[in-house]
């Protein structure tokens, strides 16, 4: 059961990372990156590292994606 859960989270992380790289709108990439942080938080928790999960929840899903969002707003470069 737990193996299946971990495997499905890993697969969704794979899909999310492919979406981050290949999406045409960069703001979609940032939002997907937040989802990626959430998934890796769950993964850290399942691998019994709750300390890292707490950090990843805030840094990965919150602060770093805000930094990317600010960079996007400041440069306003879009892929054509």
Partner 1 sequence: MNLKRTLRVETLLVALLVSVTTLVLMQILLNLHLAGHSLGDEILHINAASTQSANAVTSVVTYFRGLDTLGEVSILFLSIFGVALHMPRGSKNLFSYHNTLLYIGVSILFPLMLLFGVYVILHGHLSPGGGFQGGVIIAGAFLLRFLTYGDHYELKERVVSLSESLSGAGFIVLGLLGLLVGDRIFTQILPLGTLGELLSGGVIELIYIFVGLKVSAEISLLAEHFVKAHNV
**Which residues make up the interface to partner 1 (CB under 8 A)?**
3, 6-7, 10-11, 14, 18-19, 22-25, 28, 50-51, 54-55, 58-59, 62-63, 66-67, 70, 73-75
CB of 24 to partner 1, least distance (A): 6
Alpha carbon separation from 55 to 8, 29, 34, 66, 76 (Å, rounded): 22, 21, 14, 15, 29
CA distances to 17, 19, 23, 60, 74 from 43, in Å: 15, 19, 24, 13, 33
Query: Least distance from C-beta 75 to partner 1, angstroms?
Result: 8
Minimum CB distance to partner 1 smaller for 11 or for 78: 11
* Beta carbon of residue 31, minimum distance to partner 1 (angstroms, whole number): 12
Instruction: Name the residue with tokens 């600010």.
Output: 70
């Amino acid at each position: 059961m737990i193996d299946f859960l971990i495997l499905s989270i890993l697969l969704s992380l794979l899909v999310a990372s492919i979406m981050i790289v290949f999406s045409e709108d960069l703001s979609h990439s940032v939002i997907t990156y937040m989802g990626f942080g959430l998934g890796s938080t769950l993964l850290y928790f399942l691998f019994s590292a709750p300390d890292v999960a707490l950090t990843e929840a805030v840094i990965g899903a919150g602060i770093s994606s805000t930094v990317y969002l600010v960079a996007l707003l400041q440069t306003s470069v879009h892929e054509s």
